[in-house]
Amino acid sequence: QELDKYTGVVEDCCCDYETVNSLNREVLHPLLQELVRTPFFRYFKVKLWCDCPFWPDDGMCRLRDCSVCECPENEFPEPFRNSLKHNLPSDNLQCQEGKPQAIVDRTLDSITFRGWIEADNPWTSDDETDNSEMTYVNLLLNPERYTGYTGPSARRIWDAIYSENCPKYASGEACQEKKVLYKLISGLHSSISIHIAADYLVDEAANMWGENLEVMYDRVVHYPDRVGNLYFTFLFVLRAVTKAANYLEVAEYDTGNHAEDASTLLLMKRLLYNPKLQTACPLPFDEAKLWKGKSGPQLKQTLQRQFKNISALMDCVGCEKCRLWGKLQVLGLGTALKILFSVDSQNQPETSVQLQRNEVIALVNLLNRLSESVHFVHERGLLSEKLGNVQ
Site for ligand FAD (CB under 6 A): which residue of 32, 322, 333, 370?
322
Long-range contacts of 64-67 (CB under 8 A, 24+ apart): 65/95, 66/92, 66/95, 66/96, 67/95, 67/96, 67/320
Residue 69 as a binder of ligand FAD (CB under 6 A): the answer is no
Rounded-to-integer distance, Cα 252 and Cα 254, Å? 5
Rounded-to-integer distance, Cα 253 and Cα 45, Å? 15
Residue 186 as a binder of ligand FAD (CB under 6 A): the answer is yes
Nearer to ligand FAD, 241 or 322 (CB): 322
Nearer to ligand FAD, 108 or 192 (CB): 192
Residue 14 as a binder of ligand FAD (CB under 6 A): the answer is no
Residue 376 as a binder of ligand FAD (CB under 6 A): the answer is no
Residue span binding ligand FAD (CB under 6 A) among the ranges 22-30, 140-148, 264-272, 355-363: 140-148
Residue 233 as a binder of ligand FAD (CB under 6 A): the answer is no
| Minimum distance from residue 110 beta carbon to ligand FAD (Å) | 28
Rounded-to-integer distance, Cα 235 and Cα 137, Å? 27
Number of residues in contact with ligand FAD under rule CB under 6 A: 22
End-to-end CA distance of the chain: 15
What contacts 316, CB < 8 A, 6 or more positions away?
Answer: 50, 52, 53, 54, 55, 58, 60, 61, 156, 157
Residue 226 as a binder of ligand FAD (CB under 6 A): the answer is yes
Q: Inter-axis angle of helices 176-198 and 357-376, to 10 degrees? A: 70
Residue 184 as a binder of ligand FAD (CB under 6 A): the answer is no
Nearer to ligand FAD, 76 or 236 (CB): 236
Residue 222 as a binder of ligand FAD (CB under 6 A): the answer is no
Phi then psi for residue 306, to 5 deg, are -65, -45
Whole-Å CA distances, 57 to 51, 61, 87, 157:
11, 8, 24, 14
| Minimum distance from residue 264 beta carbon to ligand FAD (Å) | 26
Residue 149 as a binder of ligand FAD (CB under 6 A): the answer is yes
Q: Are the CB atoms for 106 and 50 separated by under 8 Å? A: no
Nearer to ligand FAD, 40 or 149 (CB): 149
| Minimum distance from residue 373 beta carbon to ligand FAD (Å) | 11
Residue 96 as a binder of ligand FAD (CB under 6 A): the answer is no
Residue 10 as a binder of ligand FAD (CB under 6 A): the answer is no
Q: Are the CB atoms for 360 and 13 separated by under 8 Å? A: no
Nearer to ligand FAD, 105 or 254 (CB): 105
Which residues are bridge partners to 73 per DSSP?
Answer: none
Residue 285 as a binder of ligand FAD (CB under 6 A): the answer is no
Q: Are the CB atoms for 213 and 243 separated by under 8 Å? A: no
Site for ligand FAD (CB under 6 A): which residue of 97, 126, 144, 315?
144
Q: Which residues bind ligand FAD (CB under 6 A)?
A: 144, 146-147, 149-150, 154-155, 157-158, 186, 189-190, 192-193, 196, 219, 226, 317, 321-322, 325-326
